[in-house]
Amino acid sequence: MGIHSLNCLRFNMVKILIALGGNAIKQANEQGTKKEQMLNCDVTSKQIAAIIKDDPTRQICLTHGNGPQSGNLALQQDIAKDKIAPQPLDIVGAMTQGQIGFMFQNRIQTNLAKEGINKQCVCIINQVLVDINDPQFIGDNASKPVGNFYTQEEALALKNEKNWLVKNVKPSVTKGWRRVVPCPDPLSNVERNSIRLLVDAGVIVIASGGGGIPVVQKDGELVGVEAVIDKDLAGQKLAEVIEADVFLILTDVECACLNFGKPDVVKLIGEFHLPQMKEYYDAKHFLHGSMGPKVLACLRHVEKTGKRAIIASLDQAVAALAEKAGTHIIP
């Protein structure tokens, strides 16, 4: 390869923000043992290594969910509360960022080495600023279910004991009650400058895990709060931070669909323009709390940057970047 083509490669460097779904770390039917989670992270890391092998100039920043891990850890705090001081959700969020960050650092590093790629991968424990006046903090607006399912009786006892907000999120079953916490919109990523520096230096950065640790500005200080930020919306903020060329959301389905779960389901595979996708979003084709925030995050990315956002399945990551799989949202 001559100097000219090397230079072309340098100027063509593509920055990719990858948001990994829950299935990248733990499958729904699993307990969440170390062995299971490490194996899932290994499978995911092979995809990341394949993305880099496909084009070694790619600069990558990763984010991930933490729902099952933080739910279990919160429950553990509760069960052990008479022996060990229980930690609130912001601390639990930080603990799971460290936990999942380690698993990915370990597996990504290993799989890159197997491919003969010399790149560092680091996790940043990451705070995300939210507005204390976000509607989600007001009254009983909070909408993000966390932790275990309870009967109505159990839920109301917990509400009195812990001052939790509880809601019947699955009215069709007896144990349909859960704690709900605010799910505020992310405003900015506190550690953004460090993330940007590392990504530009070619380091694979894991950031904003679980949507980031939510913090509010109070009396001139940043204070952690008991809330959960949607990881796809936080991922969009991270895409802004690194000025990503592509925002790639990897999940457990191959694309976004219209009429999801109905006999006349339509798979949205290929390119779709922003106004068209907005129409589908407004017509409520994408469920609240799952595909909804993914499509919303993509709409925000394309609107702000004029660049591409993709929703695809984890095992089609390389094909999705080659524009051969997934739902692509373009201006």
The half-sphere exposure of 57 on its side-chain side, counting CA atoms within 13 A, is 11
Longest distance between any two alpha carbons in the chain, whole Å: 72
Q: Does 65 bind ligand ADP (CB under 6 A)?
A: yes
Q: Would you count residue 158 as binding ligand ADP (CB under 6 A)?
A: no
Residues in contact with ligand ADP, shown as a per-residue x/- string from 2 to 31 under the rule CB under 6 A: -------------------xx---------
CB distance 179 to 159 below 8 Å:
no
User: What tokens appear for 195 in the block?
Assistant: 């993330």
Closer residue to ligand ADP, CB minimum distance, 60 or 158: 60
294 is catalytic: yes
Amino acid making up residue 275: P
**How many CB atoms neighbour CB 182 within 10 A?**
21
Gap between the Cα atoms of 297 and 229, Å rounded: 12
Stretch that binds ligand ADP, among 44-52, 170-178, 271-279, 287-295 (CB under 6 A): 287-295
* Catalytic site includes residue 53: no
Which residue among 94, 100, 234, 253 contacts ligand ADP (CB under 6 A)? Answer: 253
Q: Residue 231 catalytic?
A: yes
Which residue out of 21, 23, 189, 212 is catalytically annotated?
A: 23
Determine whether 23 is an active site residue: yes
Rounded to an integer, what distance in angstroms lies between the CA atom of residue 129 and that of residue 180? 20
Angle, to 10 degrees, between the axis of helix 192-200 and the axis of helix 231-242? 60
Q: Is residue 211 near ligand ADP by the rule CB under 6 A?
A: no
E-strand stretches of 77-143:
121-123, 127-129
Nearer of residues 65 and 147 to ligand ADP, judged by Cβ: 65
> Shortest gap between Cβ of 87 and ligand ADP (angstroms)?
24
15 as an active site residue: the answer is no
- 315 is a contact residue toward ligand ADP (CB under 6 A): no
Strand order in the sheet with 177-181: 144-150, 177-181, 165-168
User: CB of 39: closest distance to ligand ADP in angstroms?
Assistant: 17
Strands 246-251 and 308-313: parallel
Residue 67 vs 158, nearer CB to ligand ADP: 67
Residue nearer to ligand ADP on the CB measure, 198 or 230: 230
Nearest residue to ligand ADP by CB is: 21
The one segment of 77-85, 106-114, 136-144, 251-259 that binds ligand ADP by CB under 6 A? 251-259
List the catalytic residue out of 15, 26, 167, 294: 294
Sign of the CA dihedral running 27, 186, 290, 265: negative
Task: Report the DSSP beta bridge partners of residue 179.
Answer: 146, 166
What distance in Å separates the CA atoms of residue 178 and residue 167, rounded to the nearest whole number?
6
Assess 285 for contact with ligand ADP (CB under 6 A). yes
Q: Which residues bind ligand ADP (CB under 6 A)?
A: 21-22, 65, 251-253, 256-257, 260, 285-287, 290-291
Q: What amino acid positions are annotated as catalytic residues?
A: 22-23, 144, 231, 294
